[in-house]
Chains A and B, each alone.
Chain A
Amino acid sequence: MSPSSLTRSKLPLSGRIVMFFIRHIQHATASMGELWRTPVSSIMTMAVLGVSLSLPAALQVLVKNVENITHSWSSAAQISLFIDGSRSEQSIQSLIARIKVYPEISDIKYITRAQALAEFQQQSGFGDALSYLDENPLPAVVIVTPSSRYSTPVGARELLAKLEQEPEVSFGRLDIEWLEKLQALVNVLERTVFGLAALLILAVVLVIGNTIRLAIMNRRNEIEVMKLVGATEAFIQRPFLYTGIWYGVIGGTLAWLIINLLVWFLSGAVTTFIGLYGSNMQLQSLSFSELLQMVCAASFLGWLGSYLSVRQHLRAIEPS
């Protein structure tokens, strides 16, 4: 008997390939049945996974909504260009005509000196004092709204520098500090979410790993017998891997349901809250495609957890 004959199967290749898939289906359904047979412990494990997965998912929903809000706010970033007082009305119009074609700019609003004065009188409360002045001290202002690509702090600053090159512009101002702060805050939030999500995902892997470890210990005798009659490790571990995948699939679906319930529970209150700020934004939940993503990710985690467990514990079980 040569080394190759030692590993040769008694079946033809085509039969082995067909049986490979049949075995996979059988193992998948059998491990589902195994979970069904011990409903209480299975449900407990799945609930733990669902809750653990729902936390990162909830954070994901939070980030998604905050990004949505900040996105609508960031478009409010504006650049005020103060025009040199010696410039004529005609040169101001030519400036406006020139910068209007900039691709970075989405909108331009021109406030003449007279308009600026009127507005200042109205809003500042110095109306009477101003009337004592011989001359209008306020410059004309061109308010530029950058296009969405240039409304980020960095982009807007770039655009400001470019506009300040125009000879009519004495200086420009960009009120962006609050936007930078907000973005920094969103960054902190995102990092926190990422860190927490990583921890919770680790928890999911460990929970599944431990559950599978117990399942392996319970079937120790069976595993020994299977090894004795020539089962490969791949064959023995397959049902456990499918069990892990099932845990993931059901845990992921559960988490998606929990999130949708949570959003539904919160949406009334949040809509009222946002409404007070004059916005009619809707609280966003997780879509169907995100359900698929979650289930895929969760089943991968289930597979990973059981794989790590199986690798470690199946080897240790040897017939004696």
Chain B
Amino acid sequence: MIRFEQVSKIYPGGQKALTEVNFHLQRGEMAFLTGHSGAGKSTLLKLITVIERASAGKVYINGHDIAHIKRQHVPYLRRQIGMIFQNHHLLMDRSVFDNVALPLVIEGFSLGEIRKRVAGALDMVGLYGKERHYPIMLSGGEQQRVGIARAIVNKPALLLADEPTGNLDPKLSMDILRLFETFNDAGTSVLIATHDLGLIARMKYRTLTLRQGRMIGGEADIVESLSD
């Protein structure tokens, strides 16, 4: 689903964010991406969503090299990736319904279809019946779940989450992770960036660790060699 080959990223100004990163996330796999702040987790996610482009190496999404993807193709790539952010990136002046419906509106679904899918997505995250609320009226955990509903409403093949539990207490964090597990069970590939090591320890999934821009621990390589 995601494959990095010798990927490096140097920001303008010379700051090295990633150095020769290799890893492979299987289709249908769920994995954690960890590391200290500044280790390059966010940069790695930005390369997958083409918010940033790699300075060297190759990034494959679904077997397609996106390092040199044309600018006008980027939106179509992003439609296949559900993204969840720590600060949820919700539109505060729009209702929950409008927020969740946004990817469907962009894709061009009819209103009837949009209603059906938004209701389904909100049901999954446990916010059924809150369509008409505004994000400001919801708690932090609920806002995060609106963001998740927006990410899954278009049934993407890949879910990326950047510190999805950053602002939540352990109980809510666990709920959110369970939610990701259900999506994963349904066949979606999931990559979760987090520095909450306690959370990861309680789960059985593969962990990719970044330290100062390098992927460390042989685990990734082992899995990759097994899959090849």
Contacts and interface: CB of A to CB of B under 8 A. Distances in A.
Nearest to B85: A228
Contacts of B106: 226, 229-232, 235
Interface string A226-247: 1111111101000000000000
B27 to A, nearest CB: 11
B110 A6 contact: no
Nearest to B88: A225
B61 A230 contact: no
B83 A11 contact: no
A157 interface: no
Given A225-B102, A235-B106, A230 B79 contact: yes
A224 interface: yes
B109 A229 contact: no
B51 A221 contact: no
A229 B108 contact: no
B78 A230 contact: yes
Contacts of A275: none
A319 B51 contact: yes
A90 interface: no
A11 B107 contact: yes
Contacts of A2: 64
B179 to A, nearest CB: 19
Interface string A2-39: 11011111110001100110110000000000000000
Given A1-B61, A1-B63, A6 B77 contact: yes
A227 B91 CA distance: 13
B109 A232 contact: no
The A contact surface, by secondary structure, is: helix
Contacts of B108: 9, 11, 15-16, 19-20, 23
Nearest to A20: B108
Contact of B91 (A10, A20, A23, A225): A225
A254 B150 CA distance: 43
A20 B62 CA distance: 28
Nearest to B102: A229
Interface residues of B, number: 28
B75 A232 contact: yes
B72 A229 contact: no
Contact of A320 (B51, B102, B110): B51
Interface in B69-89: 69, 72-73, 75-80, 83, 89
B164 interface: no
A19 B154 CA distance: 17
B94 to A, nearest CB: 8
A318 interface: yes
A226 B104 CA distance: 11
B40 interface: no
A158 interface: no
B73 A6 contact: yes
Contact of B51 (A11, A225, A229, A318): A318
A227 B75 contact: yes
Contact of B150 (A6, A15, A229): A229
A228 to B, nearest CB: 6
B64 A1 contact: yes
Given A15-B110, A19-B108, A230-B107, 8 more contacts: A6-B64, A9-B76, A11-B107, A15-B108, A16-B108, A229-B79, A230-B106, A233-B75
Interface of B: 49, 51, 61-64, 69, 72-73, 75-80, 83, 89-91, 102-103, 106-110, 150, 154
Sorted nearest first, the 4 A-B pairs with minimum C-beta distance are A230-B79, A1-B62, A230-B78, A19-B108
29 contacts: A1-B61, A1-B62, A1-B64, A2-B64, A3-B73, A5-B62, A5-B64, A6-B69, A6-B80, A9-B76, A11-B107, A11-B109, A19-B108, A20-B108, A221-B91, A224-B89, A225-B90, A225-B91, A227-B75, A229-B78, A229-B79, A229-B102, A229-B150, A230-B78, A230-B79, A230-B103, A233-B75, A319-B51, A320-B51
